[in-house]
Amino acid sequence: MLWMACRAPVSDEADDTAAATDDTSDQVGDDTGGNDPSDDARIVATAAGDVHLCALDTDGAISCWGPPPGDEKDYGQDASPSGTYAHLSAGFFFTCALDLDGRATCWGKDDNGETAPPNITFRDVDGGGGFTCGVRDDGLLLCWGPDTPPATPPTGDDFTAVDTNVWGGCALREDQTVSCWGVESDHEQYYGQFTPPDATFLDVSVGLHHACGLTTDQEILCWGRDDDGASTPPAGNTYVDVECGDNFGCALDESGILACWGGDGLTTQVPEPEPFVSVEAGWTFVNALRADGSMITFGFDNPYNELMPGWTRNEREDD
C-alpha cells in the first residue's frame, strides 16, 4: 500500500485446499465478493490495504471488503477474483495473490502497471504504492510498474520474502539477513527505515518511515523514525509475528497475545488479551485473526472502518 504493504503468509491449509473446520459459527463477512466459499471454509490469512481488507480461506478462495461502489477511493481493490490461491498481499489501492502454481494475479488501481505482473512464478509478492515487488522462484527480486521504487532493489538469488512501502522496501535473504532499498539519506522521506541493523531475522515489515523485524531470537527490533514510538516495540516477550502500519507496529507473542505500539493513540484500541494466530496492519487499522477463522478489526476512525468485518473501536486503558 502507499504507506506500507502487508503480506498474508502462504497458508499450508489453503495450499492443500482440503482443510476444514468443525465450527464455522463465528466466521465473519457475508459479502464474499467474486467467490462462493464452501460452508465449512474458514479464514486462514488476511491482507490489509489503505481502506480495504481481503481474506484467504481454507478452500483457497478470496473474499474482500472495502469502499462502496462509486466511492472516490473505490478502485476495485476489493473485487475478489475467482480461482484457488495460496498467498495474499494488499497494496495501497490494489491487491495481489499467488495461485497454487505461484503465478500472480493483481486487481485494483493500475495507474503505473502495478497490477500487471509478469507471467512467471514467485515465492512471494508484495504491493507497494505505485509498484509491486516479488521474489521469483529462483530467488531473484523483481519489481514492476513504471512508478518503481526510487532506488534499485538489491541483487542476489537468495531472497525468500519481500515487504514494501511507497519509498522502497526490505527483503529477507536465505541467511536471514535483511537488505533494504529506497530513497537516499538526503531525501526528505528518509528516516533510516532503509538501513537495517546488523542482525538475523525471521520476518520483516516496513511502515511509512520505520521498519520492524522479528529476530531469530524472536524479539522485535525496529529502526527508523520514532517520533511517536513507532520504532520502540515492547521488550521482554517472545514473539512470533510482526506488522508495521503507517506510524505504528503490532506483534503477537508466543501465546498469541497482541501488542501494539506507536500510532498516536492506537494502543488504546487494542482489544482485551485473547489468543490470535496472525495480525495484519493497514494504513490506520489493524486486523487480528483467531484460530477459528473469526477476526477483529480496530483502529482510528475513518469513513470506511465500519465496512470492515469484525470492526470495533475500544477505548482501553493500557496495562
Mean pLDDT of the chain: 84
Give 37-71 pLDDT, tens digit per residue: 456 899 999 999 999 999 999 999 999 999 888 99
pLDDT above 90: residue 283: no
235 or 319, higher pLDDT: 235
pLDDT above 70: residue 269: yes
284 or 124, higher pLDDT: 124
- Residue 147 is predicted with a pLDDT of 59
pLDDT bin (cut points 50, 70, 90) of residue 264 is: confident
pLDDT above 90: residue 227: no
DSSP tag of 292: T
The rounded distance, in Å, linking the Cα atoms of 52 and 78 is 6
260 or 35, higher pLDDT: 260
160 touches 38 (CB < 8 A): no
- Residue 198 is predicted with a pLDDT of 97
What mean pLDDT comes out for the span 147-171? 87
Q: 110: how many CB neighbours lie within 10 A of its CB? A: 16
Report the share of the chain in percent with pLDDT over 70. 83
pLDDT above 60: residue 5: no
- Residue 219 is predicted with a pLDDT of 98
Domains plus CATH for the chain? 6-307 (2.130.10.30)
What mean pLDDT comes out for the span 236-255? 96
Q: How far is CA 220 from CA 147, 203, 212, 242, 265, in A?
A: 31, 10, 7, 7, 20
16 or 94, higher pLDDT: 94
303 or 34, higher pLDDT: 303
Contacts of 194 (CB under 8 A, 6+ apart): 151, 167, 168, 170, 180, 181, 182, 183, 211
Average the pLDDT over each of 5-19, 104-118, 233-247, 253-267 and give the range with the smallest value. 5-19
103 touches 119 (CB < 8 A): yes
Which residue in this structure is represented by grid cell 497458508? 11
What mean pLDDT comes out for the span 89-110? 96
Give 163-203 pLDDT, tens digit per residue: 998 889 999 999 999 999 987 777 778 888 999 999 999 99
- Residue 48 is predicted with a pLDDT of 93
Q: pTM score, two decimals?
A: 0.86
